[in-house]
């Protein structure tokens, strides 16, 4: 489901700044949770910029906070369609956590890029009336290495697909709605 992120500012901030050509800053938070502030990358006109957002939305009809949306249906669901069309973002992070139940014990696993390679998760922003932003991250079917741990994983956008992610029409993004088969390091915490 991806309900916790791992954000380690060094090397994440330098990598994002270099890859995307912007000044990116995020505080280290090794257990970033829903409702907390997340540094995202958004398209503002023709330029990328950092936008900080609170993770999760609470529509009037929802009984709980929504933190994720399924990439496969994000274009069709009324709650997400407009944000997906107009406010796509990337969430740079060092990794994410999943838990796996084994009997009465839950085991925590960290998923991260090999050799500390930062990850770019797909998300959508919801501008708020007070000028702040809320964030929903996108999930997809897991790649082979993640499937034994959870039935969903974050939608990851490869660095070479960033321009396509931001500059394409929603119907053109079907090819990106499955995470690329990347090499992840999975370790028990």
The per-residue pLDDT for 177 is 82
The per-residue pLDDT for 43 is 96
The per-residue pLDDT for 2 is 80
pLDDT tens-digit map of 149-178: 899 999 999 999 999 999 999 999 988 887
pLDDT tens-digit map of 103-121: 888 889 999 998 878 999 9
Mean pLDDT of 27-32: 96
Three-state SS letters, the chain:
CCCCEEECHHHHHHHHHHHHCCCCCCCCEEEECCCCEEEEEEEECCEEEEEEEEECECCCCCCCCECEEECCCCCCCHHHHHHHHHCEEEEEECEEEEEEEECCEEEEEEEEEHHHCCEEEEEEEEECCCCCEEEEEEEECCCCCCCCCCCCEECECCHHHHHHHHHCCHHHHHHHCCCCCCCEEEEEC
Residue 183 has pLDDT above 70, yes or no: yes
């Amino acid at each position: 489901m991806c309900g916790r992120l791992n954000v380690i500012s060094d090397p994440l901030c330098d990598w994002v700044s270099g890859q995307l050509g912007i000044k990116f800053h995020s505080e280290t938070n090794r257990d970033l949770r829903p409702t907390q502030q997340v540094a995202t990358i958004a398209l503002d006109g023709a330029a990328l910029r950092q936008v900080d957002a609170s993770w999760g939305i609470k529509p009037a009809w929802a009984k709980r906070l929504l933190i994720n949306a399924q990439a496969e249906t994000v274009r069709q669901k009324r709650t997400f369609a407009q944000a997906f069309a107009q406010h796509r973002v990337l969430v740079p992070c060092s990794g994410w956590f999943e838990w796996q139940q084994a009997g009465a014990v839950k085991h925590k696993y960290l998923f991260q890029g090999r050799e500390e390679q930062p990850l770019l998760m797909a998300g959508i922003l919801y501008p708020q009336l007070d000028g702040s932003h809320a964030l929903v991250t996108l999930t997809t079917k897991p790649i082979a290495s993640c499937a034994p741990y959870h039935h969903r994983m974050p939608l990851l956008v490869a660095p070479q697909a960033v321009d396509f992610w931001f500059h394409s029409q929603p119907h053109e993004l079907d090819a990106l709605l499955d995470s690329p088969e990347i090499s992840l390091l999975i370790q028990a915490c």
